[in-house]
Amino acid sequence: MDRTDLSCNERQQDMTEKSARDLVLRLNSNNLSDSNSVKEMMDLLAKGDLVTELYISKCRIDDDGLRQIVEAGCCSSKVKEQGSGVNESSIIYLRVLDLSSNNLTTISHLVNLSPNDTSRPDCHYFSQMRTLNLSGNNIGQTLFNAIECNPQWITSLEELDLSHVSCEIAAAVELIRCSNSQDSSLKKLNLFGNGIGSNGFLELSKVLHGGHLSLEYLDLGGNGATESGVVALVEVLKNNLTCGDDNSGLRSTELKLENALRVLVVGGNSGGPALEKAVKEIGKFHPNLDIARDKPKPKNGGMFGGNAINNAPGTSWTS
């Protein structure tokens, strides 16, 4: 084999490797308001088996556009392709979808998709999705029903961004409650800027006793809660003990519940000395938990400006 043949083979191998790689497609801030054009685009993506991350933020996609996206994705049956001799490991599913800041008022089309089960004949382009960004869409009034109808769309995700979606208190509670399981895959949940206030924090505290079994990162910042509301939420994290009988069955023992939570963001809500005291107390129960918050100004100022307090644990929140 001469140098020319070797070079050609190397180029062909390189092209094959590139075509097998996952591709990221960013179409942010383009006008995709024509639902027929959106459908044609998704037809190509779903059948092309290349794009795993799709970013279509601020593209003027409305509810009908989302319906077209979902229908196009569902028309691509991955199981049928497997039956035609395609190697299962080479099949590409959409893993990341950014639909932020479009004109969505409902996500019913998206959450009513088939379960995440590749053995079913209706397995589709969205069935392996792990990251979903819905921030900046006014879906708050329909969110609770969407969760209630199909909670699996929550627990099969790893990251979900619902910041600035007008999320109601009941929906926020249901999100955390239904994902509070070791079977859940949800690790990151963003509920920033939904205005749930102190009442929302009090309701959330009822489903956050001792922390959370799957969430590692929970953002509740910018929700307008008072210091007392934030303190109420933080303090329940130390209630990670439950009663149970030991092996002898003669006496009651305390069993420590598992907690996956590593970062809790409450910045953008009120803070103060009471919250600092609660955070310090929580550190005894969850030393690996970082609570990002608005820290009170030191009386005599300080080298770190208005958001620092001497020897205060946790990450300061920059407001």
Query: Is 217 found in the same domain as 132?
Result: no
- 133 lies in the same domain as 170: no
SS3 call for 111: helix
Q: What is the DSSP secondary structure assignment for residue 316, as one 8-state letter?
A: B
Q: Identify the burial level of 310 via C-beta atoms within 10 angstroms of its C-beta, where 0-12 means exposed, 13-18 middle and 19 or more buried.
A: exposed
One domain for residues 175 and 312: yes
Convert the pLDDT of each residue in 244-273 to its tens digit. Answer: 444 444 333 344 568 999 999 999 999 999
Q: Is the domain of 170 the same as that of 299?
A: yes
Which of 1-10, 110-119, 163-172, 242-251 has the lowest average pLDDT?
Answer: 242-251
Residues 94, 176: one domain?
Answer: no
pLDDT(208) > 80: yes
Helix boundaries (H) for 122-272: 140-149, 152-155, 169-179, 197-205, 227-235
Query: Helix or strand or coil: residue 64?
Result: helix
pLDDT at residue 157 above 90?
A: yes
Q: Which range of residues forms the domain containing residue 98?
A: 18-137
Q: What is the pLDDT of residue 216?
A: 97
Q: In the chain, where do the E strands start and end?
A: 23-26, 51-55, 96-98, 131-133, 159-161, 188-190, 217-219, 241-245, 252-256, 263-265, 290-292
pTM (two decimals):
0.81
User: Do 176 and 108 lie in a common domain?
Assistant: no
Same domain, 315 and 173: yes
Is residue 149 included in any domain, yes or no?
A: no
Provide the number of structural domains found in the chain: 2
- 120 in any annotated domain: yes
Residue 185 lies inside a defined structural domain of this protein: yes
Q: What percent of the chain has pLDDT over 70?
A: 72
Average pLDDT over residues 43-47: 82
pLDDT of residue 121: 44
Q: To the nearest whole number, what is the mean pLDDT of the chain?
A: 80
Which pairing describes strands 131-133 and 96-98: parallel, antiparallel, or unpaired?
A: parallel
C-alpha torsion 55→149→124→118, nearest 10? 120
Judge whether 22 lies within some domain. Answer: yes
| Residue 12 pLDDT grade (very low, low, confident, very high; cuts 50, 70, 90) | very low
160: in domain: no
Residue owning tokens 């190397």? 10
Helix axes 197-205, 169-179, angle to 10 degrees: 20
| 78 Cβ contact list (under 8 Å, min separation 6) | 91, 93, 118, 123, 124, 125, 127
Give yes or no: residues 104 and 205 share one domain.
no
The answer on 308 and 170 residing in a single domain is yes
Radius of gyration of the chain (CA): 24
- CATH number of the domain enclosing 74: 3.80.10
pLDDT at 258: 82
Say yes or no: 94 and 209 in one domain: no
Rounded to whole angstroms, the Cα distance separating 196 from 221 reads 10
- Find the mean pLDDT for residues 206-227: 95
Same domain, 76 and 188: no
Question: Both 176 and 315 in a single domain?
Answer: yes
- Specify the 3-state DSSP secondary structure of 161: strand
Q: Is the pLDDT of residue 289 over 80?
A: yes
Q: How many helices and strands in the chain, by DSSP H and E?
A: 11, 11
Distances (CA, A) of 235 to 41, 109, 204: 49, 38, 12
pLDDT digits (tens, 9 = 90+) for 107-156: 988 887 644 444 444 578 888 899 999 999 999 989 999 998 888 888 99
* pLDDT at position 80: 45
